[in-house]
Structure 1
């Protein structure tokens, strides 16, 4: 599949560079910016999407998705080896979930591939604890999780969340929450993140819409590692993505996260991502006019920005892509930029010496395209409108 993906990308390069871009956004997304973008927008399937989107049999072969991740979360298999569980109701019960509820499937101990019987808006009564070896797959339905606490991935592995809109999440109150078929524990209350990932590994968040939550949109903390965050659409939020708990939590040195093919849309302020201690590879992401900064960090973090498309805001003192959350001592941190495109006077302040490459395994590796390709590669960020019997 990887060779097919690379071939598709290469075949599109000539056509793309001969053309210019002008993007049409799906109805749930804000209109494109008036700032200069390459014109005559030609959609290009990125490495992940070309792995599964070209066939019309996706609904009968959903588990093929689990073979398509790249980067540090490539090994996440979710519920690939389990049965299919169908969510039939938007109702929720955090203590005694019933069959048909999302929570009933998410907390099971066995692997499950979770799908949805129809469009639904789910308002959770308390944070949703997702157990290991689960895929939450929104393809074929319009699924929103909104208006209450949202997703928690804690002390687990092999979780895939795909094709869900998660927005307007709120903090939860202290209370009992079931996290497995045999365990109900008292939770202290979640912060209001869209997706909070604690002490977990092999996690893949793909093609989601995330906006307007009370805390962060995605938090990756407490020594979580082997994560890929891809093809998501972020908008209308302050603190977007946190990688690393705090400046004292040295266990986050093991953290490795790939942030790839995402569209950081209008009305975002900061943290796309903000990194502490660990390593982040941000590749082929589009950034539309952040209000404070795009990529930041502290605590000796390592950041490789590669092939991104940065459109600076019109705010004169917010043109810099980067922000070090420290008064000094950061010049040895490895923060590098390669193949990035900088628009509207955007600029990246580099630092450090020596190699900053992600050192992916052969299975994790992928070709990073020049930044000029990124608007095309991210044109379908967010949930897809997949129709049974047709290619997505």
Structure 2
């Protein structure tokens, strides 16, 4: 395993396709589609993001403009789309992106801020959403979650994202009644949870691989394992603020079980700073990621990793690569 994630994905436009580490590794986004140029920051109409996202054909969506897109309702993304914010600075406000009954979506290098309304998330994945990769996004200040993954959504990678100014950051698994969420598989790596209060993430039922993330100054807990969750926390940095509990366990009863249960966390190579306490539980019950994917970028949890994550997590001022053949 090397120590530099995604060193080659910016060499050409479509090199992102199929390049995700972890459970989202098969996501090809709009690899086989035309390039769609967003030329308007309007909420809807010709040349807008919404217009592109609702088209049925595969598309690689790029932006010719920078600025704020004020969404009056969720922007629903259909299958086989790449929303590629490289080369511009595009911020989505008001509402977020909704991935519903779709597959093969890549979301890269966008900002999400100021989502308002009941059940309004930055990126909402439900139901039956699979083969998704969210990379290099900055998300903050929504009325519900920043990223919610529920209702049989699976094979998802969240990487190099920056989360800040928020309470309920990332929910994986809807509630104890949705036992079909046992299928959920999510990888979260090289993300910066920057003073957000809780859910980094909170998990029910699913298998979640957390590695090389930096979580600091949480308000309640860092990571929560609830009913039947299996979490591998590998070479992450947990830096406490006022609250010291890094790993929390909530007991709930699955709808098809007689007895309530919590979840399991295995900790490998994690670093706990400023009095942070992470107590693993039932470690032998946690899945092994090598049973699902052959390799992933990993380095020790130390000062060098903190510096790297702070530099690479979130929206980046990078150029849009040329649309040349993927080598």
TM-score, length-normalised on structure 1?
0.76
Question: Could you tell me whether the CA contact under 8 Å between 1:332 and 1:351 is conserved in 2?
Answer: no
Measure the CA separation in 1 of the matches of 2:252 and 2:132: 33
The structure number with the bigger radius of gyration is 1
- Does 1:126 find its partner at 2:57? no
Measure the CA separation in 1 of the matches of 2:312 and 2:122: 20
Alignment RMSD (CA, Å): 2.1
Residue in 2 aligned with 1:277?
205
Residue in 2 aligned with 1:351?
281
Structure 1 residue 374: Cα displacement: 2.6
Secondary structure of residue in 1 paired with 2:71: coil
* CA gap 1:120/1:364 in 2 versus in 1, 3 angstroms: farther
* CA gap 1:223/1:81 in 2 versus in 1, 3 angstroms: same
- Does 1:79 find its partner at 2:30? yes
Select 2:247's aligned residue among 301, 322, 328.
322
Deviations along 1:180-229, one digit per CA (max 9) or x if unpaired, are xxxxxxxxxx6111010012000111000000001000000001100000
Structure 1 residue 65: Cα displacement: 1.5
- Does 1:47 find its partner at 2:5? yes
Secondary structure of residue in 2 paired with 1:239: coil
- Does 1:307 find its partner at 2:223? no
Paired residues for 1:1-392 under 5 Å: 6-7=1-2, 9=3, 46-48=4-6, 50-53=7-10, 58=11, 61-93=12-44, 98-146=45-93, 148-171=94-117, 191-198=119-126, 199-266=128-195, 268-313=196-241, 315=242, 318-326=243-251, 333-354=263-284, 356-360=286-290, 365-372=295-302, 373-378=304-309, 379-387=311-319
Deviations along 1:285-308, one digit per CA (max 9) or x if unpaired, are 001111111101311111111000
Structure 1 residue 356: Cα displacement: 2.7
Residue in 2 aligned with 1:18?
none
Measure the CA separation in 1 of the matches of 2:158 and 2:104: 14
Deviations along 1:145-189, one digit per CA (max 9) or x if unpaired, are 01x121100000000100000111112xxxxxxxxxxxxxxxxxx
Secondary structure of residue in 2 paired with 1:305: strand
Kindly report structure 1 stretches of 4+ aligned residues shifted beyond 6 Å.
327-332
Structure 1 residue 83: Cα displacement: 0.6
| Structure 2 portions without partners, runs of 5+ | 254-258, 323-327
Secondary structure of residue in 1 paired with 2:37: strand
Kindly tell me the number of residue pairs found equivalent between the two proteins: 314
Secondary structure of residue in 2 paired with 1:259: strand
Structure 1 residue 353: Cα displacement: 4.5
TM-score, length-normalised on structure 2?
0.91
Measure the CA separation in 2 of the matches of 1:264 and 1:156: 27
Question: Could you tell me whether the CA contact under 8 Å between 1:77 and 1:133 is conserved in 2?
Answer: yes
Secondary structure of residue in 1 paired with 2:176: coil
| Structure 1 portions without partners, runs of 5+ | 1-5, 10-45, 172-189
Residue in 2 aligned with 1:187?
none
